[in-house]
Amino acid sequence: QQQVRQSPQSLTVWEGETAILNCSYEDSTFDYFPWYHQFPGESPALLIAIRPVSNKKEDGRFTIFFNKREKKFSLHIADSQPGDSATYFCAASGNSNNRIFFGDGTQLVVKP
Amino acid sequence: ETAVFQTPNYHVTQVGNEVSFNCKQTLGHDTMYWYKQDSKKLLKIMFSYNNKQLIVNETVPRRFSPQSSDKAHLNLRIKSVEPEDSAVYLCASSSDWANTGQLYFGEGSKLTVL
């Protein structure tokens, strides 16, 4: 059973629009939910993360919305820029198993 | 700024050969990992080491073997490579076993098996 599910697989938005990337998880003991981005030719890097004590985390144009009851979280990228074009991975981890589970990734393209 | 160093970054070889990838982290972290990223960008954990002790060993072919001399180094050896081993191998570290969600990745080692 896949622990973290991510959608859409690919997303194209115009510059200035808000891109919305979605994730859901299975294990209710997960307590850390990061988003990683990966630019072409580079390795993944931590972008932003949230813990269940909060339902929202902002960092500039990037915001995570977290719904513990529905076991869902999303990444909103406001005022998308062509430089945001990358693959985005959501993930979940917890102390119960000391593992991180990655989603399959969303390939985001921002058109100028 | 890179703090997880991998060598080599690229390697082309033929089926049946042996390959080794090296990884060193200068972050003072206790935990290191090897991930495989395929052509579809899927990230799959292969091994996890905590203070040079093997913690996680996912179901990978036996031709893959990790080796850790100390907590700052984690190498990966592949005996007798197969075509399906072509991928990018990513080394990563986290501060400790409790922070597995905060990973720092190396630049990757791209393996092409002809």
Domain boundaries, chain A: 4-111
CB contact under 8 A, A99 and B56: yes
Q: What is the average pLDDT across B42-61?
A: 86
- Which of B43, B45, B98 lies nearest to residue A89, judging by beta carbons? B43
Query: Residue A108 is encoded by which pair of tokens?
Result: 């985001």
d(CA A79, CA B65): 45
B4-113, which class in CATH? mainly beta
CB contact under 8 A, A99 and B45: yes
Query: Residue A100 is encoded by which pair of tokens?
Result: 């991180």
Percentage, residues of chain A above pLDDT 70: 97
- Residue of B54, B103, B107, B110 for testing the chain A interface, max A β-carbons within 10 Å: B103
CB contact under 8 A, B102 and A42: no
Q: Looking at A8-85, which runs of residues are DSSP E strands?
A: 10-14, 19-25, 33-38, 45-50, 56-59, 62-67, 72-77
d(CA B30, CA B37): 23
pLDDT for the residue A2: 84
Where does A4-111 sit in CATH, by number? Answer: 2.60.40.10
Q: Is the pLDDT of residue A96 over 70?
A: no
Q: Taking CB atoms and an 8 Å cutoff, what residues of chain A touch B42?
A: 104-105
Dump pLDDT digits (tens) for A46-85. 999 999 999 999 999 999 999 999 999 999 999 999 999 9
Cβ proximity of A94 and A30 under 8 Å = yes
Ranges A87-96, B75-84, B92-101, most confident: B75-84
pLDDT for the residue B112: 97
